[in-house]
Amino acid sequence: QFHKDGFLVLEHFFTTEECDRMRNQIQRIIAEMEVPLHCRTEFSTKEEEQLQAQGSSDYFLTSGDKIRFFFEKGVLDERGNFLIPKEKSLSKIGHALHAYDPVFKQITHSSKVQELGRKLGLERPVVVQSMYIFKQPGIGGEVTPHQDATFLHTEPLGRILGFWIALEDATQENGCLWFIPGSHTSGITRRMVRAAPGTSTCVEFIGSEPTYDNSQFIPLPISKGGLILIHGEVVHKSELNSSESSRHVFTFHVMEAKDTSWSKENWLQPTPELPFPSLYT
């Protein structure tokens, strides 16, 4: 099913207790959050906004081996001060929770995740990034149609796999994922790459995202504890959360490292402090 559709829904993969442990841990992290004014970056998936916010920000570009904070649009004034409570302002926390936080590390490398990797035939999977996504009530921004391999490019393609864990019920009202089944078989048409030194943004896009037929997308609501496996080239999106309830998610990406090269042009790079850790422990 995964190879046919490019995604797979596994309901109740994680327990309620595991989900609550992750949610409680993120509250602790937020309570201790200190973000310098110049680092308060609004997160967007719209290309122009992306280039301006993330693209001009070393804070984003150097977040691969750190735990950093990214905010929803419209929650900061022009001086970078919060207009609403800070815990309600976050879009996501990334990109190395799996490496530096004990709770998220344990979940990422849990025996059931490792077993699933083996069932999928992954021989040398490594974890390249992780994120906690909030999808805040009323303001959780839409995520435009995209393929993860646009941002995490490998040679050959087909080596990136996303694990997307619902920490609350994800519904059509609060912004569940939508997919185009089978759309992982046609390659990619757009890449986000590190820009040449001296350019005004530090990332740029090569190619363009085609216009997708909205009627091809199917919604994938999933209950708390469910896991969605996401092929690196499958087209997916989520809508604005206009409901009263949040849609918290922990997600991480693995790469099959065997016979694979990670693009030197990717925004995210392994560092001496944090080489990509093996999924299998």
pLDDT tens sequence across 170-217? 999 999 999 999 999 999 999 999 988 878 788 899 999 999 999 999
SS3 87: helix
Structure confidence at residue 20 (pLDDT):
98
Least confident of 79-88, 146-155, 164-173, 183-192: 79-88
Structure confidence at residue 40 (pLDDT):
74
Least confident of 38-47, 108-117, 137-146, 152-161: 38-47
- Nearest Cα to 146, choosing from 208, 202, 102? 208
Looking at residue 208, its amino acid is S
Average pLDDT for residues 76-97, to the nearest whole number? Answer: 90
Can you give the pTM of this predicted structure?
0.94
Q: What is the mean pLDDT of the chain?
A: 93
Residue 97 has pLDDT above 70, yes or no: yes
Cβ neighbors of 178 (< 8 A, separation 6 or more) are 217, 218, 219, 220, 236, 237, 238, 239
> What backbone torsions phi and psi does residue 154 show, to the nearest 5 degrees?
-130, 155
Tokens 């977040």 belong to which residue? 63
pLDDT tier, 108 (very low <50, low <70, confident <90, very high otherwise): very high
Residue 51 has pLDDT above 80, yes or no: no
State the Rg of the chain over Cα: 18
CA atoms of 56 and 150, how far apart (whole Å): 19
CA atoms of 71 and 42, how far apart (whole Å): 5
What does the buried/exposed string (b/e) look like for 194-213 if buried means 16 or more CB atoms within 10 Å of the residue's CB? bbeeeeebbbbbeeebeeee
Q: Do residues 163 and 254 lie in contact, with contact meaning Cβ atoms separated by under 8 Å? A: yes
Structure confidence at residue 47 (pLDDT):
73
Strand-pairing partners, residue 228, are: 9, 164
Structure confidence at residue 55 (pLDDT):
46
Average pLDDT for residues 249-273, to the nearest whole number? Answer: 97
How distant, in Å, are the alpha carbons of 74, 135, 274 from that of 35? 17, 20, 22
> What backbone torsions phi and psi does residue 81 show, to the nearest 5 degrees?
-85, 150
Structure confidence at residue 50 (pLDDT):
59
Q: Express as a percent the part of the chain with pLDDT over 70.
A: 94
Structure confidence at residue 61 (pLDDT):
87
Of 83-87, 198-202, 240-244, give the range with the top mean pLDDT.
240-244
Structure confidence at residue 79 (pLDDT):
81
Cβ neighbors of 246 (< 8 A, separation 6 or more) are 134, 135, 136, 137, 140, 168, 174
Tokens standing for 5? 């559709």
Average pLDDT for residues 57-83, to the nearest whole number? Answer: 86
Structure confidence at residue 158 (pLDDT):
97
Tell the CATH superfamily of the 1-262 domain: q2cbj1_9rhob like domain (2.60.120.620)
